[in-house]
Chain A
Amino acid sequence: MAKNSDNNRRKFMATTLQSVGLTALGGLLWSGYSDEAKASPLVLRPPAALPEDDFLKACIKCGLCAEACRNRDSNKDRDGNPRPSTLQMAKGGEHKLIGTPFFVPTDVPCYMCDDIPCVPVCPSGALDEASVTNEKGELDINMARMGLAVVHKESCVAFWGLQCDACYRACPLLDEAITLEYHKNERTGKHAFLLPVVHSDVCTGCGLCEKACVTEEPAIFVLPVEYATGKAGTHYVKGWDTQDQNRLKDAKEIHTVTERSEKEAADYLNMEVEY
């Protein structure tokens, strides 16, 4: 009898250990797959989307934003049928986190509706209405930062000296998000370059410029903001900017010590580059 219960206990322990072990195995595989599945950095999200990491946590993949985008009044063709919508839901095989909304400007850019139908319908908060609401409490699509347009000047024919202002004219924030800079064309000596310049403080990343671009592959294209911007760091203070100078008011003194180099100045000039 005692031996039997001992066997039972041993069997129970073994089964429990197996269950826990297999669960751990499953957890590792599942975590690995999920982590890879969400690693799709160059995706453009709907307006007012939280930063990508938070967005991926929050999005419940219901598709209400995409449905609102497709069925908005401004998306009807002449017969009153809905046209393809800006927002698509990621499918299997598209290498984006499945079921999350995104858009591809070269397919359908964001037309920046005044009433932003895609945002208020979001039930989870993945699209943050507050981020596109101005001080008056009105929805303001100009506050959206879906991405940032970037110009590749080697393939942009305006930089060759050809006259093209397709992106400039397509921009919903005409002469604000993209301006044209005039430069003298030294090659011909009598023409002007009309160069598109994107202003990141205004550009919403709607992608109308990318859609309008005339080159084989767009020379102006929208990237997620974090991939299209650099960062100077807080230790740079603009001495000519009183606003920026104010940052120094509350600054605390930091002592840093750099050890004095043993090398002579001549050594420094002659040494190889250290990586």
Chain B
Amino acid sequence: MKKFKYLLLRRATQLLLLVLYFGANAYGWHILEGTFGSSVLFGVIPLADPYTTLQVLATGFVLGTDVLLGAAIITLFYFVVGGRAFCSWVCPINMVTDLANWLRRRLKLDKEEVNYRFLKRSARYWIMVLGLIVSAVVGVAAFEVLSPITIMQRGIIFGFGAGIAVVVAIFLFDLFGVKNGWCGHLCPLGATYSLIGQKSLIRVKHDHEACTNCMECKIVCPENQVLWMVNKESVSVTDGECTNCGRCIDVCGDNALEFSIRSFATRKQSKGVKNETNG
């Protein structure tokens, strides 16, 4: 069971949130209403997605204070717990891409992985900026027009319609196209949360002494560039692209990885080493 601790916790969180959102519409619950774009917690506390908020602001519309306050609350929350915790603990698309990734490993499709020249992991940051520009030019929140995240969430709450096609497309893209293609390369929401979580407190910490270099963590990690320290030294994962999913902790048979509170004392040192190893 230990091997699936965080995986099960994440699925439980994701499903619980979807049930709460679904119930808000279907049964009139006042626990968590709305969608990820903008929600209301307990009928009082506003929540809003930072990137969605930025898109609406980019169109030139002066947003209501509820959304601005909500975006501030969410930004602060993920600033503390790790920005991309949204991706692995909340986002419903994560279940789709995780399934695609699992199938990929099962079908052994990874052996044919290609180094895509035009699809680097940095593409998402370009897309993030581009989304704001397009929002400003067209006068509509541009990513929301095609975001599989809210399309899937609204699909679950209000019914899918043909919107299910977007979710299937993401699944096929991640399974047969690019490994970690959507979440790891394209998603501008994930990119935004990566930036928000740069300095987050909760971090995975690697214990070099305990590690036996089995590399299971790197196989299972959806952003394995953040695990550069495995087999090298005992430091925390400080990269904002880490989703704090805890899969590496689950699969580690040596207890060499564990969540911890970020240690700011070792940060500067580890950054220096990171640059060296990259260079």
A89 within 8 A of B: yes
Query: Contact between A63 and B160 (Cβ–Cβ < 8 Å)?
Result: no
* Given A35-B138, A98-B163, A123-B38, also A89-B126 (CB < 8 A): no
Query: Contact between B40 and A64 (Cβ–Cβ < 8 Å)?
Result: yes
Q: Please name all residues of chain A whose beta carbon is closer than 8 Å to the beta carbon of B139 when the two chains form the complex.
A: 38, 53, 56-57
B70 within 8 A of A: yes
State the Cβ distance, A57 to closest chain B Cβ, in Å: 4
Docked complex Cα distance between A61 and B59 (Å)? 15
Query: Contact between A71 and B28 (Cβ–Cβ < 8 Å)?
Result: yes
Q: Which of A51-108 contact B (CB under 8 A)?
A: 53-54, 56-58, 60-64, 66-67, 70-71, 82, 88-89, 91-94, 97-99
Q: Please name all residues of chain A whose beta carbon is closer than 8 Å to the beta carbon of B202 when the two chains form the complex.
A: none
Docked complex Cα distance between A3 and B238 (Å)? 37
Query: Contact between B160 and A64 (Cβ–Cβ < 8 Å)?
Result: no
B37 within 8 A of A: yes
Q: Which of A14-66 contact B (CB under 8 A)?
A: 18-19, 22-23, 26-27, 30-31, 33-35, 37-38, 53-54, 56-58, 60-64, 66
Query: Contact between A62 and B161 (Cβ–Cβ < 8 Å)?
Result: no
Docked complex Cα distance between A71 and B70 (Å)? 23
Q: Which of B109-152 contact A (CB under 8 A)?
A: 118, 126-127, 130-131, 133-134, 137-142, 144-146, 150-151
Query: Contact between A63 and B154 (Cβ–Cβ < 8 Å)?
Result: yes
Query: Contact between A91 and B160 (Cβ–Cβ < 8 Å)?
Result: yes
Q: Please name all residues of chain B whose beta carbon is closer than 8 Å to the beta carbon of A212 when the two chains form the complex.
A: none
Interface residues on B, range: 35 or more
Q: Please name all residues of chain B whose beta carbon is closer than 8 Å to the beta carbon of A33 when the two chains form the complex.
A: 145-146
Q: Please name all residues of chain B whose beta carbon is closer than 8 Å to the beta carbon of A38 when the two chains form the complex.
A: 138-140, 145
Query: Contact between B162 and A91 (Cβ–Cβ < 8 Å)?
Result: yes
Query: Contact between A19 and B126 (Cβ–Cβ < 8 Å)?
Result: yes
State the Cβ distance, A232 to closest chain B Cβ, in Å: 29
Interface residues on A, range: 35 or more
* Given A92-B151, A123-B64, also A58-B40 (CB < 8 A): no
Query: Contact between B61 and A64 (Cβ–Cβ < 8 Å)?
Result: no
Query: Contact between A123 and B48 (Cβ–Cβ < 8 Å)?
Result: yes
Q: Which of A22, A67, A125 contacts B118 (CB 8 A)?
A: A22
A134 within 8 A of B: no
Task: Mark B162-191 against chain A: 1 for CB-CB distance below 8 A, else 0.
Answer: 111110000000000000000000000000
Q: Please name all residues of chain A whose beta carbon is closer than 8 Å to the beta carbon of B160 when the two chains form the complex.
A: 91-92
CB closest residue in chain B, given A20: B126
CB closest residue in chain B, given A95: B162
CB closest residue in chain B, given A50: B61
Query: Contact between B62 and A67 (Cβ–Cβ < 8 Å)?
Result: no
Q: Which of B26, B37, B126, B164 contacts A62 (CB 8 A)?
A: B37
State the Cβ distance, B238 to closest chain A Cβ, in Å: 26
Of B26, B28, B126, B157, most buried by chain A (CB within 10 Å of CB) is: B28
Chain A to chain B: the 10 pairs with minimum beta-carbon distance, closest first? A91-B161, A93-B162, A92-B163, A71-B28, A123-B66, A62-B38, A57-B59, A92-B162, A125-B64, A62-B34
